[in-house]
C-alpha cells in the first residue's frame, strides 16, 4: 500500500531538493525572484553549484510549485521544522513566531464582518503591489540600456525564462519611475505610507536609488552615442557610406556595406561586459560575423578589404581609453547601487513574509473604524 502524504505536504519533491529550494526562497520572497534565481538567464551561474546533475529536470518551476512549497513551510509541524538546517529553522521561526512559544499558538483569523473581509482583501492587494515593487526595485541589466537616442520616454523591461516581459523602469525627461508606481497610483500611495511607517527613511532611499538609476541610464546612452560617433567618423574616413548600408530598410538584397546600428549595439555590449569580441567569416566568405557576450551576429558584408577595416575599427573602439573609462564608471555605479539596495530589500522581505503592514493608510483607517 502506498504511503499517504501528511496533510501539510503538497509536493512530491524529495526533501533534500526541497531544502535547496527553500534556501533560495528564504532570500527571494516573491515567485519571480525565486524562479529567476533558480533558472536564471543561463545554466552557468551559481545555481549549478547548488543543484547537481538533473535534480530539477522533472520539477516545474511554476507559481503553483512555489505556493505549494511555501504552504509546506507555513504548516509543517514543529518536529519537522527541527529537522531542517539551522538557517532554515531560524527563517521558519521568523515566519511562525508561535513555534518559539507554546503560549502563543498560531491564531486562525476568522472573518466576522464585511469590513474585516474588505480589510483582508486590501492587505492582499497591498501584498501583491509590494511583490511587484520588490521585483522591480533593482538596477536594470546594462545590456537593456543600449540607446542610440535618449528619447523623452524609455521603458526598460526585465525578461524571464518563462518568456514573460515585466515592465520595470520608466525613464522620462531625466526622471525615473517604476511601473508599479504608475499602474495604480492610489494603491502605490497606500503602500508607500505603510512602508514609510515601517522604516522612515524609505522615501529618501527610494529617491536616492532613482537618482542613481537616472545616472546609469544616461551614462549608458553616452557610451552608445560615443561608440556610434566613432563608427561614423571612421566610416567617413574609409568611405563606408559610399556602399549601400548592409540590410538597410531600402535594400532589397544583401548589398555590400556596414550595419552601423548593429555595430554600435554589439560593441556597447562588449564594452559594458569587458569582453573582447572575436570575428570570423560567415557561411558566405563575404560576410563578417562578430561574437559578442550573448551570441554572434553578422555585422558587415563586402570584399576582404572592407571586412578587415570593420574588424580593426571594432577592436580599436573596444580598446578606446575614453569609452573604457565611461564604461568603468557606469559599471561601478551599477555595482554600488546593487550593494545599497540589499539592506533595503532585507526590510522589504520582512514585510513580505509577515504579510501585514504597520500603521494605516486611508483605506485601512476607514475599515478599522468600522470594525471597532
Determine whether 175 is exposed, middle or buried from the number of CB atoms within 10 Å of its CB (0-12, 13-18, 19+): exposed
Alpha helices in the chain (DSSP H): 15-27, 31-39, 47-50, 63-75, 78-81, 86-95, 114-136, 179-183, 185-198, 202-237, 260-272, 304-318, 321-354, 362-371
Spatial CA neighbour of 165 closest among 175, 153, 174, 156: 156
284-324 pLDDT, tens per residue? 777 888 998 888 888 888 888 888 988 999 999 999 999 99
SS3 sequence of 299-325? EEECCHHHHHHHHHHHHHHHCCHHHHH
**153 forms bridges with which residues in the sheet?**
172
The pairing of strands 257-258 and 295-301 is antiparallel
86-132 pLDDT, tens per residue? 888 888 888 787 776 544 444 455 556 777 888 888 888 999 899 88
Domain ranges of the chain: 15-100, 121-372
CA distance 365 to 57: 48
CA distance 324 to 169: 26
Here the cell at position 362 is: 486611508
pLDDT confidence of residue 49? 59
Dihedral of alpha carbons 128, 133, 134, 135, sign: positive
Q: Tens-of-pLDDT digits for all 372 residues of the chain?
A: 445 678 888 888 888 888 889 888 888 888 888 887 887 644 344 444 577 667 777 788 888 888 888 888 888 888 888 888 888 888 888 878 777 654 444 445 555 677 788 888 888 899 989 988 998 888 888 887 877 667 777 777 665 434 455 668 888 888 888 989 988 899 999 999 999 998 999 999 999 999 999 999 999 999 998 998 888 888 888 877 654 444 344 444 445 567 677 788 899 999 999 999 999 987 777 788 899 888 888 888 888 888 898 899 999 999 999 999 999 999 999 989 888 888 888 889 888 887 788 888 888 877 777 775
pTM: 0.73
Rg (CA), the chain: 26
Q: Mean of the per-residue pLDDT values for the chain?
A: 80
Place of cell 538584397: 253
42-61 pLDDT, tens per residue? 434 444 457 766 777 778 88
pLDDT confidence of residue 251? 42
CA distance 298 to 313: 15
Place of cell 520572497: 29
Amino acid at each position: 500500500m502506498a504511503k499517504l502524504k501528511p496533510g501539510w505536504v503538497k509536493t512530491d519533491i524529495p526533501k533534500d531538493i526541497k531544502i535547496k529550494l527553500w534556501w533560495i526562497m528564504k532570500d527571494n520572497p516573491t515567485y519571480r525572484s525565486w524562479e529567476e534565481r533558480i533558472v536564471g538567464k543561463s545554466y552557468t551561474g551559481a545555481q549549478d553549484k547548488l543543484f547537481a546533475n538533473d535534480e530539477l529536470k522533472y520539477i516545474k518551476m511554476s507559481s503553483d510549485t512555489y505556493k505549494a512549497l511555501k504552504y509546506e513551510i507555513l504548516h509543517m509541524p514543529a518536529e519537522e521544522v527541527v529537522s531542517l538546517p539551522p538557517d532554515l529553522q531560524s527563517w521558519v521561526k521568523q515566519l511562525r513566531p508561535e513555534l518559539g512559544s507554546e503560549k502563543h499558538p498560531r491564531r486562525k483569523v476568522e472573518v466576522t464582518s464585511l469590513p474585516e473581509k474588505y480589510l483582508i482583501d486590501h492587505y492582499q492587494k497591498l501584498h501583491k503591489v509590494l511583490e511587484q515593487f520588490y521585483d522591480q526595485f533593482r538596477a536594470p541589466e546594462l545590456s537593456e540600456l543600449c540607446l542610440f537616442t535618449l528619447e523623452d520616454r524609455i521603458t526598460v523591461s526585465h525578461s524571464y525564462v518563462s518568456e514573460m516581459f515585466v515592465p520595470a523602469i520608466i525613464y522620462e525627461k531625466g526622471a525615473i519611475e517604476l511601473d508599479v508606481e504608475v499602474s495604480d497610483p492610489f494603491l502605490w500611495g497606500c503602500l508607500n505610507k505603510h512602508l514609510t511607517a515601517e522604516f522612515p527613511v524609505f522615501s529618501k532611499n527610494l529617491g536616492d536609488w532613482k537618482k542613481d538609476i537616472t545616472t546609469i541610464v544616461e551614462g549608458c546612452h553616452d557610451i552608445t552615442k560615443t561608440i556610434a560617433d566613432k563608427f561614423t567618423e571612421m566610416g567617413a574616413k574609409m568611405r563606408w557610406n559610399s556602399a549601400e548600408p548592409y540590410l538597410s530598410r531600402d535594400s532589397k538584397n544583401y548589398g555590400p556595406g556596414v550595419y552601423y546600428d548593429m555595430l554600435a549595439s554589439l560593441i556597447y555590449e562588449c564594452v559594458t561586459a569587458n569582453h573582447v569580441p572575436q570575428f570570423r567569416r560567415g557561411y558566405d566568405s563575404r560576410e563578417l560575423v562578430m561574437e559578442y557576450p550573448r551570441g554572434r551576429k553578422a555585422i558587415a558584408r563586402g570584399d576582404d578589404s572592407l571586412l578587415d577595416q570593420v574588424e580593426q575599427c571594432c577592436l580599436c573602439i573596444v580598446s578606446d581609453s575614453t569609452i573604457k573609462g565611461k564604461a568603468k564608471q557606469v559599471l561601478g555605479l551599477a555595482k554600488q547601487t546593487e550593494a545599497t539596495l540589499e539592506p533595503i530589500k532585507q526590510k522589504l522581505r520582512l514585510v513580505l513574509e509577515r504579510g501585514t503592514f504597520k500603521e494605516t493608510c486611508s483605506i485601512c483607517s476607514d475599515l478599522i473604524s468600522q470594525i471597532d
